Structure 1
């Protein structure tokens, strides 16, 4: 073809309109014939679509089926993994309130979702694998595959559809009535059911983000309404059944109105050991359990020693600035007891009274007590005697009084102790006192040592009756000491009452190290008294001091007249024990917490500079075998004062840090902004020689208390 020919062909005349319509009609007819031959599409829009060859149509069907499976799979996995933890929680804790809860099965919404438009057949095909028409919820069954789940999980779980016993599976519609499905749908449904029947491990991940988002977008997972009825019950907190006496902290007193302070000494340490246990577990102790004087007196101090057992106490007084109130001063009173030499120790007639009731079975109770008693036996001399009484549902003598020289027999009797039964503590105490009386040693120490968690729940439980029994035995020369163990039903209130009225000490043993401290390192202090009925009285000079308060000793307060009354019982002090008391005073002329009375007697004018006494200290005691008290006294004056707290001895500064820590735990309102960091800084600078690590342990305890939960 030549160029002229091509040029002529370029100018083609336009088609006629009738011919154009005829050609278009023929093409449409051809498409319709092809559609009839290929059959209706299984998925997608039913509107006319373009022609495709066989391989192309097969590939599209495969992709659409995969997409449909992903919808059901995503919904199944999401529902299963969200529901499984809650089902485990409910099956473990047996949560009540099953009326509104249903086994995970059938639809994943409380009500049927709004019907999808007819054109979205692909979406409804996907839903068919994991949902069925809603049905009324049956009674809650323990055989459901995943328990009952609802509310705070962020999904709505509908009532279970009726069907054969055993419950449905997540994503299964086998037990729900449904319209006959197309073969392809049934195959997909069976595949989803087979997949979701496999138990999922707790650590399995959720569906991929794309599939999970698709499930949420299509309404398979919905946010639940946070109604009270839909919420899962909260985790049940462990009931706190430990018992403590409630005492308010000592108030600030005006010297002009009440110039004399009188109290019984306290050498117990149970409060500190109990607080340490709780703080190490991440929880602050109850305020009623905190007795600040027991915190202070827990630690050994290197106070000046007395010279003889005839005058068994040496007081040392220091006056220093208060670290939490710049206007006030602290009067630190340290009393060191005489340390008996081994040859001076009297014989010991001991009766171990051991609670073997069911509550004593945990490792931190009876097993710990058995180890503690073995330690104590190793500290006794061959001529000392030991007896063993146990009590549970009844009381029995496990070992008659036996000399320590026959140690193997004593250890064997301790080793066979086992816990079981309820507690009849009063009956056991009576048996223990009977044994102690039968083998009473006039020249020795006669003492019952009670080891218990304090769970006296059977028999005579009246504290007044027990107190009367113990006082009568005390007057006969048989004393009572307490070893408290355990937590959860620790009856501190009862044990304090028994020990105080039995002229003994109350210790709390939570670890073997504490058992060693109480029964090995301080065995002489625990067992052998150097003085009885020890009382302290301080009179303040109103010309120098306007206000004062005693830190701690709330349970040991005495009336002013009790100090000189030898019939009034007070605390006993064992060999080498030391006692610390700290007063906070407001010097005359400084800012006070309590205003003077308008119509009362005016306070004394500040004394001249020559009057150096702030107050006067007195201590009264009885020697172990005497009934008449003796007196030790000393002035409190400027000669004992230091200008700065840093100039005070290490023992003084450390004990003040411990007092501040106890006040923090107690919630005392007089410490200003002094906090845990201040306590740590003061104690760290006064740690000094710490061979047994008690002060280092205190520093760690103060750090833990900062973050412990209340």
Structure 2
């Protein structure tokens, strides 16, 4: 108020040279009578100017409220908006807020002590209701479960598995479950396939495979075992096919195959891709099979870019840097030149790099595009937040932002499979391992739409067995990590499914009666998923009929799938692999082999290598049993 008085005093000084007493008297009267009104008018004008300056660009008003999962409104929740830069807002005492924003869509981040950070895209024209999940509860760790059987509880000890300097999550193989105790089981669906190429790397080096690096569901994901032979009827629905066959290792049991075919995007209408390459250029990547392989892989991807696509490059090695600001796909030479210029050195500040990559991706964000961070690393983070839990919390904070995460594992010796698997699982994405140039080409070119374009999020399948017809069942693959099981988590969170991908699940089942013919369904399936950028959950239901057929008479793809499951079980030294050997695996694979499929032919070669590598191991085990 003092400066307003100074203005009035300055005006009054204009009259100090007046010689006429009546002029001075008139002025004094004006000031005395109207001084209060004048000050009020000036203050109102100033406030209006300030309001206009602060909100001159505000065309929309974002309103909403924040609750906990019990529905209680949460006050003092910190709100950050992309359009507001560093400005911070908070919910009021009743958990509500209203903020003027300049655009119809915005990115919002909500945070409150004791709750998970929530980040996502919002429409300012709609009233928003946000729900924050508490930390250190089942809700914050539920994404770790690959499968869960309702009403079945067990206790496991936590342990960490290492193979030299490499790390793998300790897994618990699924056991038989009696349907009278727990008829319902669920499994998370995804397109991860890292396990198979990592297994191939070990066997090509004539080395045994870490048992916890063997994930049978990822081995099945690697191959195109589609027996449905038709495309989905629309852009949102899955197709399903089930088959019951004989079990080659147990004549009293049967195998149940479940195949789900994801919707396939129209190639002519694929949305733009806004990609952020996050490349590890630390000292550990300074080997021929690491950074040079990454560079070659990304340059192949760049060749497929269209003019409407966009690429940014973030690197980390000693420090985090933005090597390339968002650049259109038409400028291929510019992008390739930056990739070629990368040199490996320094420490590995992975956590800071991940945060920077998401920040860059958010600036490129388009709700109608494929927004994705592609991380290529050996996973050997050694600066900043380095634990699996710390890293997965970082990506989990961005999970609902509409930005996907693809993890590409590279290298050997210090490869951190556990970290990359945790990042992919918690970061709304997928996970692959690049062991050679052919695999890089397969992942980033041949399988590009399946790997990089999601058609379903949070996808999981619930299987409910008929207690009258099935007495017991065992899910093959989809094994859980021991630490997730010991945490007592009772729910699962689904994964990401790419365009046109075929997901296969296998069960070994024990019929309740010797008869294999029945008019009733042996099980029912419930598929749940969300379409990209959609909050409403979709559901599809399928019946599993007792369509028993001998495995020898079944589709050849099912025999090949059986050989993969047998192969993985032998590598894991499973208790369920005691009734067959490497010859049985190879013979089963050959009986289902597609002679024109190079990858299937390579698999048969790997069975030969595995037999030689494990020959000494098997003999040693037999001697130990005799002792």
Counterpart residue number, 2:210: 286
Tell me if structure 1 keeps the 8 A contact 2:593–2:600: yes
From 535, 542, 545, the counterpart of 2:470: 545
User: What are the residue-to-residue correspondences of 1:399-438 with 2, within 5 Å?
Assistant: 399-438=324-363
Structure 1 SS opposite 2:297:
helix
Tell me if structure 2 keeps the 8 A contact 1:263–1:556: no
Structure 1 SS opposite 2:261:
strand
Structure 1 SS opposite 2:504:
strand
Does 1:705 pair with 2:610? Answer: yes
Note the C-alpha offset of 1:310. Answer: 3.5
Structure 2 SS opposite 1:243:
strand
Note the C-alpha offset of 1:309. Answer: 4.2
Rounded Cα–Cα distance in structure 2 between residues aligned with 1:307 and 1:694:
25
Counterpart residue number, 1:489: 414
Counterpart residue number, 2:548: 641
Counterpart residue number, 1:474: 399
Rounded Cα–Cα distance in structure 1 between residues aligned with 2:405 and 2:541:
30
Tell me if structure 2 keeps the 8 A contact 1:306–1:312: no
Rounded Cα–Cα distance in structure 1 between residues aligned with 2:477 and 2:190:
10
From 569, 579, 589, the counterpart of 1:673: 579
Rounded Cα–Cα distance in structure 2 between residues aligned with 1:311 and 1:441:
21
Rounded Cα–Cα distance in structure 1 between residues aligned with 2:435 and 2:235:
36
Rounded Cα–Cα distance in structure 2 between residues aligned with 1:563 and 1:357:
36
Rounded Cα–Cα distance in structure 2 between residues aligned with 1:477 and 1:469:
15
Which one scores higher on RCO, CA 8 angstroms, separation ≥ 6?
2
Tell me if structure 1 keeps the 8 A contact 2:232–2:264: no
Tell me if structure 1 keeps the 8 A contact 2:206–2:613: yes
Counterpart residue number, 2:371: 446
Rounded Cα–Cα distance in structure 2 between residues aligned with 1:690 and 1:508:
24
Rounded Cα–Cα distance in structure 2 between residues aligned with 1:330 and 1:554:
18
Counterpart residue number, 1:349: 274
Counterpart residue number, 1:34: none
Counterpart residue number, 2:524: 616
Rounded Cα–Cα distance in structure 1 between residues aligned with 2:263 and 2:452:
14
Question: Is there any run of 5+ residues in structure 2 with no aligned partner, and where?
Answer: 1-161, 618-627
Q: Deviations over 1:290-324 (max 9, x none)?
A: 00111111101233234344433111101000011
Rounded Cα–Cα distance in structure 2 between residues aligned with 1:462 and 1:551:
29
Q: Deviations over 1:7-51 (max 9, x none)?
A: xxxxxxxxxxxxxxxxxxxxxxxxxxxxxxxxxxxxxxxxxxxxx
Tell me if structure 1 keeps the 8 A contact 2:169–2:481: no
Structure 1 SS opposite 2:366:
coil
From 488, 491, 494, the counterpart of 1:570: 494
Note the C-alpha offset of 1:450. Answer: 0.4
Q: Deviations over 1:346-373 (max 9, x none)?
A: 1111000000011101111000000000
Rounded Cα–Cα distance in structure 2 between residues aligned with 1:381 and 1:319:
44
Which structure carries more strand by proportion? 2
Question: Is there any run of 5+ residues in structure 1 with no aligned partner, and where?
Answer: 1-237, 591-605
Rounded Cα–Cα distance in structure 2 between residues aligned with 1:316 and 1:280:
35
* Residues 652, 586 of structure 1: alpha-carbon distance in 2 compared, 3 angstrom cutoff: same
Counterpart residue number, 2:176: 252
Does 1:658 pair with 2:583? Answer: no
Note the C-alpha offset of 1:390. Answer: 0.5
Note the C-alpha offset of 1:625. Answer: 2.4
Structure 1 SS opposite 2:381:
coil
Tell me if structure 2 keeps the 8 A contact 1:425–1:458: yes
Structure 2 SS opposite 1:244:
strand
Tell me if structure 2 keeps the 8 A contact 1:535–1:621: yes
Q: TM (normalized to structure 2)?
A: 0.69
* Residues 650, 436 of structure 1: alpha-carbon distance in 2 compared, 3 angstrom cutoff: same
Rounded Cα–Cα distance in structure 2 between residues aligned with 1:421 and 1:335:
45
Q: Which moved more, 1:353-362 or 1:331-340?
A: 331-340
Structure 2 SS opposite 1:405:
coil
Matched residue count: 450
Tell me if structure 1 keeps the 8 A contact 2:402–2:533: no
Tell me if structure 1 keeps the 8 A contact 2:311–2:327: yes
Counterpart residue number, 1:329: 254
Rounded Cα–Cα distance in structure 2 between residues aligned with 1:671 and 1:464:
33
Note the C-alpha offset of 1:564. Answer: 13
Rounded Cα–Cα distance in structure 1 between residues aligned with 2:292 and 2:592:
37
Tell me if structure 2 keeps the 8 A contact 1:243–1:490: yes
* Residues 517, 291 of structure 1: alpha-carbon distance in 2 compared, 3 angstrom cutoff: same
Note the C-alpha offset of 1:611. Answer: 4.1
Rounded Cα–Cα distance in structure 2 between residues aligned with 1:267 and 1:580:
10
Counterpart residue number, 2:132: none
Q: Which moved more, 1:341-350 or 1:308-317?
A: 308-317
Note the C-alpha offset of 1:239. Answer: 7.6
Name which one, 1 or 2, has greater alpha-carbon Rg. 1
Note the C-alpha offset of 1:547. Answer: 0.8
Note the C-alpha offset of 1:469. Answer: 2.0
Give the alignment's Cα RMSD to 1 decimal. 2.2
Rounded Cα–Cα distance in structure 2 between residues aligned with 1:239 and 1:583:
30
Tell me if structure 2 keeps the 8 A contact 1:312–1:530: no
Tell me if structure 1 keeps the 8 A contact 2:282–2:346: yes
From 186, 196, 208, the counterpart of 1:262: 186
From 150, 164, 171, the counterpart of 1:240: 164
Tell me if structure 1 keeps the 8 A contact 2:170–2:481: no
From 525, 533, 539, the counterpart of 1:631: 539
Tell me if structure 2 keeps the 8 A contact 1:358–1:420: yes
Rounded Cα–Cα distance in structure 1 between residues aligned with 2:576 and 2:235:
40
Tell me if structure 2 keeps the 8 A contact 1:454–1:494: yes
From 300, 321, 324, the counterpart of 1:375: 300
Note the C-alpha offset of 1:438. Answer: 1.3
